[in-house]
Amino acid sequence: MYPKIDHHGGAQGVTGSCHQLWFDHKHSLLVDCGLFQGQEVDDDLPALERLSIDFPIETIEALVVTHVHIDHIGRLPYLLAAGFRGPIICSPPSAHLLPLVIEDALKIGFTRNKVLIERFLDQVNQQLVVLPYKQWHSLLDQNGLAVKVRLQRAGHILGSAYIEVDYRSAVHGELSQREGNHKSQRIVFSGDLGAPWTPLLPAPRSPYRADILVLESTYGDRLHQHRRERSQQLAQLIEHAMHRKGHIIIPAFSIGRTQELLYELEHLLHQAEPDSVLKELEVIVDSPLAAKFTQSYRELKEWWDKEAWRRYRQGRHPLSFEELYTVDSHDEHLQTVNYLSRSQRSTLVIAASGMASGGRIVNYLKAMLGQSRHQILFTGYQAKGTPGADILRYGPAGGWVTLDGQRYDIRASVQQISGYSAHADQKDLVNFVRCMRDKPQEIRLVHGDNKARVALKGQLERLYSSDARMDEVQVLLAGQENG
């Protein structure tokens, strides 16, 4: 019966990631504790009830955080409010970024009271356990049960990790090395896996082995564009908008995506010919949070990939450049929206939220959607039910979208560049399994809509059946194991 896994979110959808791994009926481990977003939010319940932790927490030995995106750690305040005082284990860069994310989440969802926020962050810091990559950490070793965890780089955002769990349980009496004395299992949680060419980050490498793999499947039914195509397309879309004297508006996650875009933009501007229209482009990051994260990304150079280091050694600043301007206060934000809506000088604006479901990007969209000279550009996943998904779906046909309860006609150009996804695509996900030395007998697909999961399941089954020496695999769609 053990180990067994319960999914408290992020199984049948892409948000609210939260998985509980049970070692026996008294001991368990929580992997992520994220917020639900978009259509996956149950609007019938009041916020506090919707978000409160609806599973018993007494058995949880530790929370392991795969990465600091809000859909993976956003329910942390509720977990602590429910009384969780165990260790919060994460990688060194995540430990640096996590308090910033939680502070922001508290301000939006809980309180603006500085003293309360301070107290809360103190509590988080007391519970944080920084675990370097590639290092085993013993979680439990008692009464015939031993559990260790290890983090490996996942290439999704700075600090992201996939988690290896080593589980040993005595069949009779005490644990020993003797053959047949214990049951042992290796469980791997992929978290969100990055694509091979994610700017700034090295590509993830597959684990050596797994018995059970809990695998994300956001893009389980899609293949991304190649790197060169995506930067060409980005340059072209910017140039087209500049010729129309329009602005380029990019909704983006403050963490990860914004920094990747800045990295790519620095390169585009660096490479542009002296007479290129790109030389006149201004770039604005309108998000104090994104600005803070960009600063952190600069400080966390140690974790950059080789290419970023090469540029840095050439005297370039991959995350800051002359044409980059940051908007801070809310007043300044409103002035900027107002100014740009009248200005003919093309500016590229990056603002959150990435799915346009809130945040400063909404004001830009309200001001720009109605004019055909502007370019709305999506570079990330748009969950069903978010304004981002609606703009993407209805925009190209001249439809409309609802923002803050009001209808806005879409006349601006709407495009998506898939190559900038921070998620692995179908081929990358299959390769993650293919490159394991000892492949899992059970794969649970999480973090993807059904279409994506079904497609990936088919590909994974094909992988196993292509080699007669491979054992059988059971590919499960988490959350519907019985269906």
Site residues (vs Zn ion, CB under 5 A): 69, 192
Nearby residues of 349 by Cβ (< 8 Å), 6 or more positions away: 247, 248, 249, 250, 283, 284, 286, 340, 364
Nearer to Zn ion by C-beta: 61 or 192? 192
Give me the half-sphere count of Cα atoms (radius 13 Å) on the Cβ side of residue 110. Answer: 23
Nearer to Zn ion by C-beta: 89 or 242? 89
Q: Give the residue ranges of DSSP H helices in 57-109.
A: 70-73, 76-81, 92-109
Residue for token pair 């809000």: 70
CB of 8 to Zn ion, least distance (A): 17
Q: Of the candidates 3, 19, 165, which has an alpha carbon nearest to the alpha carbon of residue 479?
A: 19
CB of 74 to Zn ion, least distance (A): 11
Q: How far is CA 306 from the centre of its chain?
A: 22
CB of 239 to Zn ion, least distance (A): 30
Nearer to Zn ion by C-beta: 159 or 318? 159
Distance in angstroms (rounded) separating the CA atoms of residues 23 and 147 = 8
Tell me if residue 391 falls in helix, strand or coil.
Answer: helix
Query: Can you point out the beta strands (E) in 126-247?
Result: 128-130, 137-142, 145-153, 161-170, 182-189, 212-216
**382 phi/psi in degrees, rounded to 5:** -115, 105
Nearer to Zn ion by C-beta: 23 or 219? 219
CB of 160 to Zn ion, least distance (A): 7
Distance in angstroms (rounded) separating the CA atoms of residues 119 and 99 = 12
Residues constituting the chain: 483
**238 phi/psi in degrees, rounded to 5:** -65, -45
Distance in angstroms (rounded) separating the CA atoms of residues 396 and 470 = 46
Nearer to Zn ion by C-beta: 73 or 319? 73
Nearer to Zn ion by C-beta: 192 or 266? 192
Q: Which residues does residue 28 pair with via DSSP β-bridges, in sequence order?
A: 22, 60
Nearer to Zn ion by C-beta: 3 or 38? 38
CB of 143 to Zn ion, least distance (A): 36
Distance in angstroms (rounded) separating the CA atoms of residues 217 and 333 = 36
Nearer to Zn ion by C-beta: 21 or 101? 101
Instruction: Return contacts of 313-318, CB within 8 angstroms, 24+ apart.
Output: 316/266, 316/270, 317/266, 318/200, 318/262, 318/263, 318/266, 318/267
CB of 117 to Zn ion, least distance (A): 24
Contact 128, 90 (CB under 8 A): yes
CB of 75 to Zn ion, least distance (A): 15
Q: Which residues does residue 212 pair with via DSSP β-bridges, in sequence order?
A: 187, 442
Nearer to Zn ion by C-beta: 358 or 458? 358
Nearer to Zn ion by C-beta: 73 or 139? 73
Nearer to Zn ion by C-beta: 207 or 354? 354
Residue for token pair 């280091």: 309
Q: How far is CA 283 from the centre of its chain?
A: 24
CB of 297 to Zn ion, least distance (A): 15
CB of 454 to Zn ion, least distance (A): 22
CB of 67 to Zn ion, least distance (A): 6
* DSSP letter assigned to residue 3: S
- The one-letter amino acid code at 312 reads Y
Q: Determine the residue with CB nearest Zn ion.
A: 69
The 10 Å Cβ neighbour count of residue 172 is 8
Contact 417, 375 (CB under 8 A): no
CB of 225 to Zn ion, least distance (A): 20
Contact 409, 421 (CB under 8 A): no
CB of 72 to Zn ion, least distance (A): 6
Nearer to Zn ion by C-beta: 192 or 390? 192
Give me the half-sphere count of Cα atoms (radius 13 Å) on the Cβ side of residue 394. Answer: 17
